[in-house]
Amino acid sequence: MNVLMLAPEPFFQPRGTPISVYFRIQALSELNHRVDLITYPLGEDVENPNLEVHRIPNLLGLKRIKIGPSFIKLPLDFLMFWKAFSRLAGRRYDLIFSHEEAAFLGVILGKIWKVPHLYDMHSSLPQQLENFDFSRSRLLKKAFTRMERFILKHSQAVIVICQDLRETVKREGFESKAVLIENFLDFPGPAYSEDEIRAKRKELAPGGEKIVLYAGNFQPYQGIALLLEAAAKVGEKARFLFVGGSPTENEEMGEKAEALGIRKKVVFVDRVAPSQVPLYISLADVLVSPRLSGTNTPLKIYSFLKSGKPVVATRLWTHTQILDDKISVLVEPDPEHMARGISFALFNEDARRRAETARFLAEKEYTPERYLEKIRACLEIARSNFKTGKSL
């Protein structure tokens, strides 16, 4: 098929949705489909013989687009609509594949050009307003709720990335369209030798301390401040490694660590390429996800499970959709319980047994073959519903 994909974010950048978009494109390419991607002006090019990227012009001179909802996306999405409209006017597409809020545009374009539409639902649109503290306006939330229902109703198929979103689609009455495709694929990277891992470990923890790793962005909902407070309560035999913050964010959190009296106990590493993350996972003793809010499963959880390292996470729905006490160490979202959980994971044999159980589960359930099967199934649902006139 010829697929027109709409992705309202910088592509490619190593953060949540762009990573998911990358693997969707890879899967479509492996299934011999061709993708024309309409996206924002920022981001790095990626190599794929079946991908052609069409960026909207950077009329506003943007250098950065923050994660989550923002008013700056309104003119960008307007430009995306007309870019997509011109592509559809110039050639025939078999499917429109839209991510996040661009699905509203995709549905309209699909109706105009009579092309099936597939919605990649990375999160609930009204819930984003709360998660990113964008607005508490009831009117705006109501508008986003109606827009989400419109998209679900008029799309021929829907990809959901976690159980919570599947429940959302089910409540709206569109469960038959939904396919759960978790974001569990990893970027290929170099095979790091034991000597390389030891050398990097010695660099980061020269005193032979145990290493507790957080990898991800530094948005408030991720719980970085909570983890720093917990670090102050864990013994001196542990060093806390934070990978993924910007230089400014690292400086801010470094000041907080200084105020807590643990500056020598923490190490901040700027954002790294996705292919480098496995190195940090390999050298860590414990992996941690201190997330405080949201309902989507963090992408990192799947990589953590595959690693065979103990995982400590807050006992919230964002994690417990996937994690339980048999494969992880779940704690209440406060510094005292987080510190106890980390100490347990560092020094208790039961934590290592849970990690091995998690690795076995991940190797069975989260494979590239399963991912391709799910993508193929979603495409079949979209084509079938389009042929029968469902959602038109």
Q: Quick one: DSSP state of residue 327?
A: T
- pLDDT value, residue 182: 93
Question: Domain for residue 219, yes or no?
Answer: yes
Same domain, 70 and 216: no
Same domain, 165 and 290: no
Phi/psi for 44 (5° steps) reads -95, 145
Same domain, 167 and 222: no
For residue range 274-304, what is the model confidence (pLDDT) as tens digits? 888 999 999 999 999 999 988 889 989 999 9
Inform me whether the pLDDT recorded for 381 exceeds 60. yes
Same domain, 131 and 279: no
For residue range 345-357, what is the model confidence (pLDDT) as tens digits? 999 999 999 999 9
Same domain, 135 and 246: no
Question: Domain for residue 392, yes or no?
Answer: no
Inform me whether the pLDDT recorded for 190 exceeds 90. no
Inform me whether the pLDDT recorded for 261 exceeds 80. yes
Residue 5 burial by Cβ neighbours in a 10 Å radius (0-12, 13-18, 19+): buried
- pLDDT value, residue 251: 94
Nearest 5 degrees, angle CA 73-CA 76-CA 79? Answer: 150
Mean pLDDT of 87-104: 96
Report the number of distinct structural domains present in the chain: 2
Q: Distance between CA 167 and CA 274 in Å, rounded?
A: 30
As a whole number, the mean pLDDT across the chain is 93
Strand residues in 24-109 grouped as ranges (E): 34-39, 51-55, 95-99
Mean pLDDT of 163-178: 94
Same domain, 300 and 374: no
Mean pLDDT of 172-197: 90
- pLDDT value, residue 133: 65
- pLDDT value, residue 334: 97
Domain region containing 38: 2-184+368-387
Same domain, 204 and 164: no
Mean pLDDT of 37-62: 95
Same domain, 221 and 135: no
Mean pLDDT of 41-69: 92
Question: Domain for residue 263, yes or no?
Answer: yes
For residue range 101-135, what is the model confidence (pLDDT) as tens digits? 999 999 999 999 999 999 999 998 888 777 666 66
Q: What is the pTM of this model?
A: 0.85
- pLDDT value, residue 236: 82
Inform me whether the pLDDT recorded for 198 exceeds 80. yes
Task: Kindly list the strands in the beta sheet with 178-180, ordered across the sheet, starting from the edge strand earlier in the chain.
Answer: 51-55, 34-39, 2-7, 95-99, 117-121, 157-160, 178-180
- pLDDT value, residue 70: 82
Question: Domain for residue 145, yes or no?
Answer: yes
- pLDDT value, residue 134: 67
Same domain, 234 and 355: yes
Q: Which residues contact 99 (CB under 8 A, 6 or more apart)?
A: 5, 6, 7, 8, 9, 17, 20, 21, 120, 122
Question: Domain for residue 128, yes or no?
Answer: yes
Q: Are 81 and 112 in contact (CB under 8 A)?
A: no
Same domain, 170 and 85: yes
Same domain, 214 and 327: yes
CATH number for the domain that contains residue 207: 3.40.50.2000
Confidence band for 188, pLDDT divided at 50, 70 and 90: confident
Same domain, 374 and 360: no
Question: Domain for residue 279, yes or no?
Answer: yes
For residue range 150-163, what is the model confidence (pLDDT) as tens digits? 999 999 999 999 99
Q: For the chain, give the number of residues.
A: 392
Confidence band for 391, pLDDT divided at 50, 70 and 90: low
Q: Distance between CA 239 and CA 211 in Å, rounded?
A: 5
Confidence band for 343, pLDDT divided at 50, 70 and 90: very high
Inform me whether the pLDDT recorded for 314 exceeds 70. yes
Question: Domain for residue 189, yes or no?
Answer: no
